[in-house]
Amino acid sequence: MKFVSFSAVSMILAAAAVTLPATGASAADRDKKFFESVEGNWAGPGEIVAGKYKGTKFNCTFAGKTPGNKPGMVLDGSCRVGVFTQKMTASIEHKAGRYQGTFLDGAEGKGLDIISGNVVESGQKVVLAINRKQLNGIMQARLASDNTMNVTISVRVEKQLVPVIGVSLKRLDTTAVGSID
């Protein structure tokens, strides 16, 4: 298996606090609620569970907000492994009839692209397709409650998706921004 550097892994982790909505009128309402429910400050531990850096533990902090009245997310934060810290920035928006996003400077630079995604399970979970050159995979984020989000990042190795990163984030804000029905 070929895995990426810490900075690329940390860019994938930025996806933990970012979501993409599905299409359709009722889906748009549901997805807007989901975006609003993940606004705010989040932090928590994670671990690389496969590959060369298996067993590496890290901590991340994120601040997310929706860009005005439209669906999307703007993210700022960082992930830390030991004494090393990687700044995290991300932006997701509706463009040309679909949702697109970048982490850091996108796949053309040293970052990642979000190429598609959907909110599923009655608005409780998002599944995003991520891409960086030869790295293809998915990120799944599930709201276990208003204040807990569990994230799994998997990469495609040959024809199989292999989980490589797990993160459990807790809301740092005193109250949840929104609630999912």
Please answer whether residues 126 and 141 qualify as being in contact, where contact means their C-beta atoms are separated by less than 8 angstroms. yes
Q: Can you tell me the distance from the alpha carbon of 179 to that of 8, in angstroms, rounded to the nearest whole number?
A: 32
Residue 1 lies in a domain: no
Residue 176 lies in a domain: no
User: How deeply is 72 buried, as exposed, middle or buried, from its count of CB atoms within 10 A (0-12, 13-18, 19+)?
Assistant: buried
Residue 181 lies in a domain: no
Residues spanned by the domain of 98: 6-171
β-strand partners of 168? 150
- The pTM is what? 0.77
Count how many domains the chain has.
1
Cβ burial 51-68 (10 Å sphere, 16+ → b, else e): bebeebebebbbbbbbee
CATH number at residue 55: 2.40.128.20
pLDDT confidence tier of residue 177, bands split at 50, 70 and 90: low
Least confident of 30-39, 64-73, 91-100, 172-181: 172-181
Residue 112 lies in a domain: yes
